[in-house]
Homo-oligomer: A and B are copies of this chain.
Amino acid sequence: MEEEDKFSNNEKIMSSFTHEKAGMKGINREKIDKIIYEASKNTDFFNHEQQKTDQVQKKIKSMKNEIQKNIQKGPRFIKESSDEIDRKIREFEKERILTETWIHVDMDMFYASVEIRDQPDLADKPIAVGDTQMITTANYIARRFGVRSAMPGFIGKKLCPELIFVPPNFGKYQAEGEKIREIFKEYDPNFESMGLDEANLLVTPVLRERGTDTHEGRQALAMEIREKIFVETQLTASAGIACNKLLAKMATEINKPNGQFYLQPDRDKITEFIEQQKVRKVPGIGKVLEKILNELGVDVCGDILKKKLEISFVFNNTSLAFLLKSALGLGSTSHTGVSEEQKSISISRTFPPTENIDEIRKKLITFCENIAKELEEKDAECRNVTVFIKRGNYETINRSETSKKLINTLEDITNLAFRQLETLQPLGQIRLLGLKVGNLSFGRKKRKSIQSFLAEPPAETEPKGVIQKKATSEEEFVNSFLHTPLTPEKKVIEDAKPTGIKLMRLQCPVCGQWFTMSEYRMSVHVSECVNDNGAKKRKVSLEGENKRIKSQKGLTLDHFFTKK
- List A residues at the B interface (Cβ < 8 Å): 73, 76-77, 80, 83-84, 87, 401, 404, 419-420, 422-423, 425-426, 451-452, 454-455, 457-458, 460-462
Which of A77, A87, A457, A462 has the largest count of B CB atoms less than 10 A from its CB?
Answer: A457
Main secondary structure of the interface of A (DSSP, over half): helix
Question: In the complex, which of the residues B83, B84, B457, B460 contacts A457, with contact meaning CB atoms closer than 8 Å?
Answer: B460
Give 3 closest A-B pairs by Cβ, nearest first.
A422-B455, A423-B455, A80-B83
Complex CA distance for A422 and B452, rounded to whole angstroms:
8
CB neighbours (8 Å) of A77 from chain B are: 87
Sampled A-B contacts (13; CB under 8 Å): A77-B87, A80-B80, A80-B84, A401-B404, A404-B460, A419-B455, A419-B457, A422-B451, A422-B454, A423-B451, A425-B454, A425-B455, A458-B461
Nearest chain-B residue to A421 (Cβ)? B455
Residues of B close to A426: CB separation below 8 A: 451
Give Cα A460 to B84, complex, Å: 53
Q: Which residue of B lies closest to A80 (CB)?
A: B83
Let me know if A458 and B462 touch, CB within 8 A. Answer: yes
CA distance A451 to B423 in the complex (A): 6
The chain B residue sitting closest to A450, CB to CB, is B425
- Judging by beta carbons under 8 Å apart, are A423 and B404 in contact? no
Asked if B457 and A401 make an inter-chain contact with CB atoms under 8 angstroms apart, the answer reads: yes
**Once the chains bind, are B455 and A458 in contact (CB under 8 Å)?**
no
Shortest beta-carbon distance from A236 to chain B in Å: 50
A389 vs chain B, min Cβ distance (A): 14
Give the docked Cα–Cα distance between A420 and B462 (Å): 22
A460 interface neighbour in B73, B451, B452, B458, Cβ under 8 Å: B458
Known: A457-B460, A460-B460. 6 other contacts (CB 8 A): A77-B87, A80-B83, A422-B451, A422-B455, A423-B452, A425-B451
A87 in complex: contacting residue of B80, B422, B451, B454, CB < 8 Å = B80
CB distance from A317 to the nearest CB of B (A): 12
Whole-angstrom distance from the CB of A407 to the nearest CB of chain B?
14
Number of copies: 2
Residues of B within 8 A of A423 (CB): 451-452, 455
Complex Cα gap A460–B404 (Å): 10
Interchain CA distance A242-B452 in the complex, whole Å: 55
Residues of B within 8 A of A420 (CB): 455
Residues of B within 8 A of A460 (CB): 404, 457-458, 460
How far apart are A483's CB and chain B's nearest CB, in angstroms? 47
CA separation between A458 and B401, bound complex, in Å? 13
A87 to B419, CA, bound (A): 53
**A76 contact from B73, B83, B455, B461, Cβ within 8 A:** B83
CB-defined contacts of A461 to chain B, threshold 8 Å: 458
Residues of B within 8 A of A404 (CB): 401, 460
- State how many angstroms separate the Cβ of A358 from the closest Cβ of chain B: 16
Complex-state Cα separation, A559 to B401, whole angstroms: 36
A454–B73 CA distance with the chains assembled, in angstroms? 54
Chain B residues whose CB sits within 8 angstroms of the CB of A454 once the complex forms: 422, 425
Q: Please, which residue of chain B has its CB at the minimum distance from the CB of A83?
A: B80
CA distance A84 to B73 in the complex (A): 12
CA distance A492 to B420 in the complex (A): 72
A454 to B401 alpha-carbon distance, docked (Å): 15
Q: How far is the CA of A426 from the CA of B451 in the complex (A)?
A: 8
Chain B residues near A83 (CB-CB < 8 A): 76, 80
Complex-state Cα separation, A404 to B461, whole angstroms: 12
A256 to B154, CA, bound (A): 83
A225 to chain B, nearest CB (A): 43
Give the nearest-CB partner of A422 in chain B: B455
**Which B residues lie within 8 Å of A455 (CB)?**
419-420, 422-423, 425
Contacts of A425 in B (CB 8 A): 451, 454-455
Chain B neighbourhood of A80, CB < 8 A: 80, 83-84, 87
A457 to B458, CA, bound (A): 13
| Interchain nearest-CB distance for A421 vs B (Å) | 8
- Give the shortest distance, in Å, between A427 (CB) and chain B (any CB): 10
Chain B residues, CB < 8 A from A84: 80, 84
Output the least CB separation between A461 and chain B (Å).
7
Most chain-B CB neighbours within 10 Å: which of A80, A451, A452, A462?
A80
CB of A199, distance to nearest CB on chain B (Å): 38
CB of A406 to closest CB in B, whole Å: 15
Closest-by-CB residue of B relative to A452 is B423
Contacts of A401 in B (CB 8 A): 404, 457
Most buried by B among A73, A84, A458, A461: A458
How long is the Cα–Cα vector from A461 to B80 in the complex, in angstroms?
A: 58
Minimum CB distance partner of A87 in chain B? B77
Distance A458 CA – B426 CA, assembled complex (angstroms): 21
Neighbouring B residues of A462 by C-beta, 8 Å: 458
Closest chain B CB from A462 CB (angstroms): 5
Cα A458 to Cα B403 in complex, Å, equals 12
Compute how far the CA of A253 lies from the CA of B419 in the bound complex, rounded to whole angstroms. 57
Q: Which residues of B contact A419 (CB under 8 A)?
A: 455, 457
The chain B residue sitting closest to A461, CB to CB, is: B458
A231 to B454, CA, bound (A): 60
